[in-house]
Amino acid sequence: DQQVKQNSPSLSVQEGRISILNCDYTNSMFDYFLWYKKYPAEGPTFLISISSIKDKNEDGRFTVFLNKSAKHLSLHIVPSQPGDSAVYFCAASTNNNDMRFGAGTRLTVKP
Amino acid sequence: AAGVIQSPRHLIKEKRETATLKCYPIPRHDTVYWYQQGPGQDPQFLISFYEKMQSDKGSIPDRFSAQQFSDYHSELNMSSLELGDSALYFCASSFRGQVDSYTFGSGTRLTVV
């Protein structure tokens, strides 16, 4: 069963514009959410996270929004840069640290 | 800073052969996780170890086994390989299972022919 879903396999945006990556989850027990970024031939690297007690977490150009009632979170990148081009994975975990990943969204930022 | 080291980076095996993948966690990390990512699929959790004991088990086939050694490195042993086992195998490590400390290796790409 796919508990974490990223329904957009790819996204293309212009440099300087906003990138919005979406993620939906089904398990209401998830209480911690993370975004990972993956370049080709490398393992996923941690980008930003949010606890279920918050609805927003910001780190520089990256902001994650959490809507618990809709079981939805999103990652906003503003402004987008060509170096942001990568595959972005959404992940969710429960308090026992059991992490589930989405299928990933490939972001392409065009110069 | 030292990262999670996986070896080999690439591996080609024939059907019914065996393969062993190795993972060396970040120093002081005591928890190791194995994930399998098939082509076009999301990473699937296989198994994890904490302090050399199996801590959680996911969708790991019975043909696979894994263990964590006294130096905290882990090995994933895969027997009777099938074509469908071709995938990217990620290892991650953490300190006491803390999600914020999760660090992934670069993966081992296994191709079964």
pLDDT in tens, chain B (113 residues): 578 999 999 999 999 999 999 999 999 999 999 999 888 777 888 998 989 998 888 889 999 999 999 999 999 999 999 999 999 999 999 888 777 778 889 899 999 99
Of B40, B100, B104, the CB nearest to A43: B104
CB B75 within 8 A of CB B22: yes
**pLDDT surpassing 60 at residue A53:** yes
Distance CA B10, CA B111 (A): 8
Distance CA A89, CA A85 (A): 13
Q: How far is A40 from chain B (nearest CA, A)?
A: 9
Q: What is the dihedral of CA B16, B12, B40, A109, to 10 degrees?
A: 170
What pLDDT sits at residue A77?
Answer: 98
Amino acid at site A84: D
Of A36, A43, A89, the CB nearest to B106: A43
Whether B106 and A98 lie within 8 Å, measured CB to CB? no
Amino acid at site A58: E
Of A36, A98, A100, the CB nearest to B56: A98
Chain A segment 57-76 residues within 8 A of B by beta carbon are none
Higher pLDDT: A8 or B100? It is A8
Q: What pLDDT, in 10s, does the model give residues A10-50?
A: 999 999 999 999 999 999 999 999 999 988 777 888 899 99
CB B14 within 8 A of CB B81: yes
What residues in chain B have their Cβ under 8 A from chain A's Cβ atoms? 4, 6, 33, 35, 40-43, 45, 56, 90, 92, 94, 97-100, 102-107
Whether B42 and A45 lie within 8 Å, measured CB to CB? no
Q: How far is B41 from chain A (nearest CA, A)?
A: 6
Distance CA B45, CA B60 (A): 8
The mean pLDDT of chain A is: 91
Q: Indicate the pLDDT class of residue A101, thresholds 50, 70 and 90.
A: confident
Closest C-alpha to A13, from A70, A86, A72: A86
Higher pLDDT: A8 or B41? It is A8
Higher pLDDT: A98 or B26? It is B26
